[in-house]
Structure 1
Amino acid sequence: MSDQQLPRRTFLARSLAAGAGLTLGRAGLWLPSSGAPAVVTSERRRPVLPNGVQSGDPWPTRAVLWGRTDRPAQLEVEWSTTEAFRTVHRVRGPIARAEAAFTTHLDLTGLPPGETIFYRARYESLETPGAFSEPVTGQLRTPPRASARATKPVRVAWSGDMVGQGWGIDASRGGIRMYEALRRAEPDVFVHSGDNIYADGPLQTEVPLDDGTVWRNLVTDAKSKVAETLDEYRGAFAYNLLDDNARRFGAQVPVIAQWDDHEVVNNWFHDLVLEDDPRYTEKNVRVLAQRAQQALFEFLPIRRNAAEPNRIYRSFSMGPLLEIFVVDLRSYRGANSPNRQTSASRETAILGDAQLAWLERGLRQSRATWKVVACDMPIGLVVEDRLREGVRNYEAIANADAGVPLGREHDIARLLRALQQAQVRNVVWITADVHYCAAHQYAPERAAFTQFDAFWEFVAGPMHAGTFGPNALDGTFGPEVRFASAAPKPNRPPSDNLQFYGTLDIDPRTRALTAGLWDVTGTRLWSVELPPAN
């Protein structure tokens, strides 16, 4: 079927263009240009917001507001429930400092549940008190309380894989068009399923296309080589925000972000050493991962966990109809291996004991009609890693063996068994990673492991990267492909329109969930309606 996406809101967030006298410096960060024309002293003293604003991690009464300026400055935010700001609440926020690349995160509290919040942010220079930046405006919608009566539909969008395989910002082709497609889809929240950046994917200025034309990338210092230093990882994140579509999107749709491998390096695990990659002078992936994680927390609107500041797994109640559980398959995994271990151990971990216990408990205790597990890799698709001494290793959960659970499949079997025993219903999985879109239905009658209730997994992506696929399915948990849209040949460019996102819509009257898969033009490719089990 083919349906054009229609907008639901009318507010268009205004984005501040980069100020005069700025140029791209090392790591893609905006710096004063020595060749820029002179500006009046008062203007030079005003902070500039080169990357717009973002919101994220929405709760019923709070949300994280992200911003970045070009110098030491203190954030000031005004917010209101009306676009005209008839009643204004003012908050003095954190100070932007060089040690955090002049980024700030304000956990804005005291918000009314289930309301659209309009906000405007500006920074006051610490060097010149009283010199303020021009304000930048944005909006977000807070979820209703879990105890509220469901009266409004819920829409979640998701996708992943950004600026990969050499496809960067080509302004002549509309830039990163997926951000505009997602803005027009008007979700209540967007789940970024990982690969927010390709730190290991440098850009070339020109890439020839099959039709004889040329893709022309905007290239910064940070995106001209693999990221190794903290500033280079920061620059890879900052690169995406040079796109006009990205800044408009960030000012209008709150984001729930997770990570996968390309935020650090392809197929990474902590003990990996990049002995065979001459692009890297720093070979220790554990060191690279620490730098990448710092940049990730600096440049994404993520709420830090007070007890575990670097923890990425977390959950979000979106009201009585939906709760989202964001998992992290990178931080606690064992080394990539042939993935055929017959018993669970630290070597087979993909979620890790603490996260797995948290997820089991959260899904059991959730009172939401639908529970969505946002996973950065698919369960049943085979994702291969490099050969080691002639033996194939595996990067994801599946191991190309359709028999009983082995290797990392032990974690998934434990979770699925626990959910069946606790009679947890209405669990669906969303993911990206494999650079095509698909719908998989898992059922025990087709599976080697049968101690679970049937469930769906929906795959969407890439957002702006090469399109591939399809991958082979592993039969351990009985998956069946109900739909797939893959590339006719590997690494198709964004100009082919084979860039995909997904939506989950929940009707408050019937409580049914409709999953849809869409392309970058806003055309619906496939959908299914799932009635609630209880």
Structure 2
Amino acid sequence: MSDCSLPRRAFLARAIVAGTTAALAPRDLWAAVGSRLPAAPAIITSERLRPQWPSGVQTGDPWPTRAILWGRTDRAAQLQVEWSTTEGFRDVRRVRGPVARAAHAFTTHLDLHDLPPGQTIFYRARYESLASPGAFSEPVVGQLRTPIRATARATRPVRIAWSGDMVGQGWGIDEARGGIRMYDALRRAEPDVFVHSGDNIYADGPLQAEVPLDDGTGWRNLVTEAKSRVCEALDDFRGAFAYNLLDANAQRFGASVPVIAQWDDHEVVNNWFPALMLTDDVRYTEKRVRVLATRARQALFEFLPIRRHAVDRERVYRAFSLGPLADLFVVDLRSYRGANSPNLQAEPSPATAILGESQLAWLERSLTVSRATWKVVACDMPIGLVVNDPVRDGVRNYEAIANANDGAPRGREHEIARLLQRLQQAGVRNVVWVTADVHYCAAHHYAPERAAFTRFDPFWEFVAGPMHAGTFGPNALDGTFGPAVRFSSAAPSPNRPPSDNLQFYGTLDIDPGTRALTAALWDVTGRKLWSTELAP
């Protein structure tokens, strides 16, 4: 999907400098890749004085002229970045970035700006120690592609990939089995952007050193201190995010593909809502989920390449223009929801909230004013799949939108019914939904002729995942909005390991000539399982 002078994989194979040229002094190494920065006061060769890159680099939240460049080091140090539109770094731009400090786990977020739209951007970054000026890290190199402007003419396809659910159900990094192979599969797919649909970490899922497999062998996890227990302190959540980035595939992916991330439940604790109390979970000394969620949110913003909202800096929901062919709308079904319940309330109220009034109004307005051919809603939970919450006091509660009642909208279905009806009234067409959460892949078509609620236009919902977690499914469908399964690939038995290759991602490809959208579902080996082409 790249039109740069050197193919993406070839460039990155040559350009991941860290660890391959350690014999060079930092100043010499920077010069070896073409830097013309002013000379440092002295060449520092002691390894202990150099800042390190324990987590690689990431980019995210791309706009036509901006993108977030994320990094992490191991000490107080200032980020320095060079970027160019050529692999040889001709006409290079230099940016002195923020300082990594302990208060934010030595992470940095640089909002690169004045980038040319629709271009492949090559970048290299390094840290300079504050305690030892002139002591530079080895440089890390990567690339991303900026979207074209919404008013421009599309001349190349757009590819969006998505998936979710990372290091869940006890399946961590087993380096002997290739580590987190999904990151390699996604890198090879060469999407313009990857949407992480939530469960970036399993804060409530400690790892054991070894998990027995059916064939008599064992899955041997890399286990860190943070992943040996549930996350309660801020540093626990930070450690869970840092764990995933120990994987070499994850670091190569981070240097290759920009990420647009959202969150779901396992960034905090299974099936959480703000008012939840973990009264019966003996693993936790902090029982207030609202407190845990505050810490988890801080770690999320520290460790993912997310651009903070100008006014509401804690806001996760946001929108992106990927050019005239696609707008992307990222929602948050966690922060504003009411308590999980039987989900059968006859009238909408704060108790039935899943998006919440402000976010729902934002989504209605944003979809209505969008002029892109396709409107992609990245939702962290599916609409029609029934997701149970544990039975409490003999009562069956529900975790997602559906309530296993095929009749008129009730409970959280009220907000979805309102949204779908408003879109029909406004004549908004070409809306597709992508999601993860349920740990299998599926394609669902929603149509009013099959539904109890009929005031909406037909639409598709595509489900993909897990990325690296136990595989389950399939779930039952709720008939309120008339879903039908067009494809499904689930586990033959619960909690199948990543070694079974039942790890899934999806892609949306939009053709610039026909403007048709092709949705496809893939497994971790890169095998296409199913696809369909949708005319605009």
Q: Which amino acid aligns with 2:75?
A: R
What is the aligned-residue RMSD (CA, Å)? 1.3
Distance 1:176 1:333 in 2: 32
Compute the displacement of 1:17 (Å): 4.1
- Identity score, percent: 80
The residue that corresponds to 1:430 in the other structure is 434
Partner SS, residue 371 of structure 2: coil
Compute the displacement of 1:14 (Å): 1.2
CA deviation map 1:9-44 (0-9, x unaligned): 643251624999xxxxxxxxxxxxxxxxxxx97321
What is the 5 A alignment of 1:122-521?
Answer: 122-521=126-525
- Please list every run of 5 or more consecutive structure 1 residues that lacks an aligned counterpart in the other structure: 1-6, 21-39
Partner SS, residue 11 of structure 2: coil
Partner SS, residue 11 of structure 1: helix
The residue that corresponds to 1:98 in the other structure is 102
Q: In structure 2, do the counterparts of structure 1 residues 235 and 378 end up closer, same or farther at CA, with 3 Å as the change threshold?
A: same
Distance 2:136 2:424 in 1: 56
- Contact residue 178 and residue 463 of structure 1 kept, 8 A: yes
Compute the displacement of 1:46 (Å): 1.1
- Aligned match for 1:117, one of 104, 109, 121: 121
CA deviation map 1:182-229 (0-9, x unaligned): 000000000000000000000000000001111000000000000100
Q: In structure 2, do the counterparts of structure 1 residues 292 and 479 end up closer, same or farther at CA, with 3 Å as the change threshold?
A: same
Distance 1:41 1:504 in 2: 47
Number of residue pairs matched by the alignment: 507
The residue that corresponds to 1:11 in the other structure is 11
Compute the displacement of 1:388 (Å): 1.9
The residue that corresponds to 1:32 in the other structure is none
Q: Which amino acid aligns with 1:14?
A: I
Q: Which amino acid aligns with 1:352?
A: G
Q: Which amino acid aligns with 1:16?
A: A
Partner SS, residue 469 of structure 2: coil
Partner SS, residue 301 of structure 1: coil
The residue that corresponds to 2:37 in the other structure is none
* TM-score when normalising by structure 1: 0.94
Moved more, 522-531 or 124-133: 124-133
Partner SS, residue 82 of structure 2: strand
Compute the displacement of 1:151 (Å): 0.5
- Contact residue 19 and residue 50 of structure 1 kept, 8 A: no
The residue that corresponds to 2:28 in the other structure is none
CA deviation map 1:392-437 (0-9, x unaligned): 0000000000000000000100000000000000000000000000
Q: Which amino acid aligns with 1:11?
A: F
- Contact residue 383 and residue 395 of structure 1 kept, 8 A: yes
Distance 2:46 2:175 in 1: 32
Q: In structure 2, do the counterparts of structure 1 residues 193 and 18 end up closer, same or farther at CA, with 3 Å as the change threshold?
A: farther
- Contact residue 18 and residue 49 of structure 1 kept, 8 A: no
Distance 1:148 1:10 in 2: 29
Q: Which amino acid aligns with 2:265?
A: D
The residue that corresponds to 1:84 in the other structure is 88
Compute the displacement of 1:132 (Å): 1.1
Distance 1:17 1:361 in 2: 48
Q: Which amino acid aligns with 1:455?
A: F
Q: In structure 2, do the counterparts of structure 1 residues 41 and 153 end up closer, same or farther at CA, with 3 Å as the change threshold?
A: closer
Q: Which amino acid aligns with 2:91?
A: T
* TM-score when normalising by structure 2: 0.93
Q: Which aligned runs of 4 or more in structure 1 are off by greater than 6 angstroms?
A: none
The residue that corresponds to 1:26 in the other structure is none
- Please list every run of 5 or more consecutive structure 2 residues that lacks an aligned counterpart in the other structure: 1-6, 23-43
Q: In structure 2, do the counterparts of structure 1 residues 387 and 186 end up closer, same or farther at CA, with 3 Å as the change threshold?
A: same
Partner SS, residue 184 of structure 1: helix
Distance 1:429 1:130 in 2: 49
